Structure 1
């Protein structure tokens, strides 16, 4: 049994196809198939049910994949130890970012990070929190930037910043005359929300439900993007809440519709998260340091109350 064979097993389990797995591993399909067959013969079991389309793991195959992932992670740790000993910060690094953080945070830190760590090859994907957790646990992401706390035993979190919620209230809205708003002022029935699957949506719902009991069936207008929510609000269809960084680039006319909360402001905690196996920690540390250094100049709020991003 070899580490290479275990890499092949994990690739097939991920792609459920021998051809795609071979492409991922940069080998020919016959080479990959031969190695899997040798492994199955050595163990005297069948790992993959080739009669299913797509290919499925057998019962024992699922157990082997789980253990193979642990073994491969531990073997990768040897290279990590060598890299850290040499002070090397480089190589491929797969990073996921949630949609409500990506458009504001990424332009702030990406250029500075690339300049400081040119040997790191970042592969960045915009993913929901649910997708991020799955991919970190499956070993398909090295780290991610997401709203926390996530209360997941397999994932570690390092806080980057606390981002207050800000009300965006059109001039025709019932709260338009209030200079500062209270959480108790919020009515979920006239709130424009992001679509299901966005953790910021869950945070807004949790915030409103803390004071009033509402049924999800009352939600009328939802959108996949904050930009669309702003346009709907400008049409007088309701108010919405924005993460603070989204307010910085609004034009003056739109900024006139912003209403901050009475302190302590409701806020979300944004963290860099990674698997408890702590692989590639030198790059995680570098990422955390660069973002933390840049974000201090943009968010100077301290008196905040963290709102959970988890659905309740």
Structure 2
């Protein structure tokens, strides 16, 4: 039994296809199939049921796969220990970022990080929070940047910054004459929301004191971008809420329609999240230090109230 054989088994378990697993493992399909077969022969069991399309995992095979994940992770940790001991910060590092953070945060830190740590091959993927969590568990991501708290047992959360909510209130809206907002002012029935699946949407709904059933309203508009929500607000379709960093690039005419909340400012907590095994922790710490130092200059709000990103009950 070898680590390589276990890695091939995990690849087949993920893709449920020997050809695709071989492609992702950068080996030929006969090589991968032969090594998986050798492991099955050694253990005298079947890990995969090849008679089904896509192939399925046997009951005993699932137990072996669960254990293989632990063994492969621990094997990778040996190299990680050596890198840490040598003070080496480099190698592949895959980072997932949620869609409501990536467009504003990535341009702020990426150039600085790659210049400071040129030996790190940073691979960045835009993914939803649920996908980030699943991929961190499966070992496909080294870390993620997401709204927290998530309260997941196997994940560690390291806050990077606290980003206030800001109201975008067009002219002729019922709140347009107010100099600042309170949570009591908000009515979810006239707030333009991101589409379902975005944690910022859940945060906005949680912020409203008495959410109504949106399906009872005369229309329902949900979008995947803040730019679209601002445009719809300009057309008199309602107001919207934006994360603070998304307001920095608005033109002067739109910035005049922004309204801050009374203190404590409702805000979302943005954290670097990673598996509790802390693989590649030296890169994770370097990434956190770079992002925290840069964002600290952009967000100076001190008195904030964290709004949960979890869907309201």
What TM-score does the superposition give when structure 2 sets the normalisation length? Answer: 0.97
Deviations 1:15-73 (A, max 9, x none): 11111111111111111101101111111111111122222211111111111011100
Residue aligning to 1:217: 215
- How far apart are 1:217 and its partner, in Å? 2.7
In 2, the alpha carbon distance for the partners of 1:55 and 1:284 equals 36
Tell me, yes or no, if structure 1 residue 201 matches structure 2 residue 198.
no
| SS state at 1:310 partner | coil
Q: Is 1:116 equivalent to 2:116 in the alignment?
A: yes
Give 1:283's aligned residue.
Answer: 283
Partner of residue 4, structure 2: 4
Q: Secondary structure at the match of 2:103?
A: helix
**Contact (CA 8 Å) 1:189, 1:218: kept in 2 or not?**
no
**Helix, strand or coil: the match of 1:192?**
strand
> In the TM superposition, what is the alpha-carbon distance from 1:218 to its structure 2 partner?
4.2
- Asked if residue 167 in structure 1 is aligned to residue 167 in structure 2, the reply is yes
Aligned pairs for 1:120-159 (under 5 A) are 120-159=120-159
SS at match of 2:292: helix
| Structure 2 residue matching 1:289: 3-state secondary structure | helix
Q: Distance in 1 between matches of 2:214 and 2:154?
A: 30
Q: How far apart are the structure 1 equivalents of 2:282 and 2:73?
A: 16
Is 1:232 aligned to 2:232, yes or no?
Answer: yes
Q: Which ranges of structure 1 fall in alignment gaps of 5 or more residues? A: none
CA contact (8 A) 2:96 2:144 kept: yes
Equivalent in the alignment of 2:254: 254
Task: Determine helix, strand or coil for the equivalent of 1:193.
Answer: strand
Q: Distance in 1 between matches of 2:80 and 2:239?
A: 48
**Paired residue secondary structure (1:240):** strand
Distance 2:46 2:201 in 1: 44
Runs of 4+ off more than 4 Å: none
Greater mean alpha carbon deviation, residues 57-66 or residues 156-165: 57-66
Cα distance in 2 for partners of 1:201, 1:12 equals 36
Residue aligning to 2:273: 273
1:213 is displaced (CA, Å) by 4.3
Which residue pairs with 1:36 in the alignment?
A: 36
Give the aligned partner of residue 27 of structure 1.
Answer: 27
Quick one: distance in 2 between partners of 1:55 and 1:106? 39
Asked if the contact 2:189–2:214 (Cα under 8 Å) also holds between the matched residues in 1, the reply is no
Distance (Å, rounded) in 2 between the aligned partners of 1:150 and 1:27: 37
Instruction: Report if the CA contact (8 A) 1:179-1:259 is conserved.
Output: yes
CA distance in 1, matches of 2:308, 2:22: 41
> Which residue number in structure 2 is paired with residue 189 of structure 1?
189
- 1:127, CA displacement in angstroms? 0.4
- Cα distance in 2 for partners of 1:37, 1:63 equals 17
Paired residue secondary structure (1:270): strand
Which blocks of at least 5 consecutive residues in structure 2 are unaligned?
Answer: none
Aligned length: 310
Root-mean-square deviation (Å): 0.9
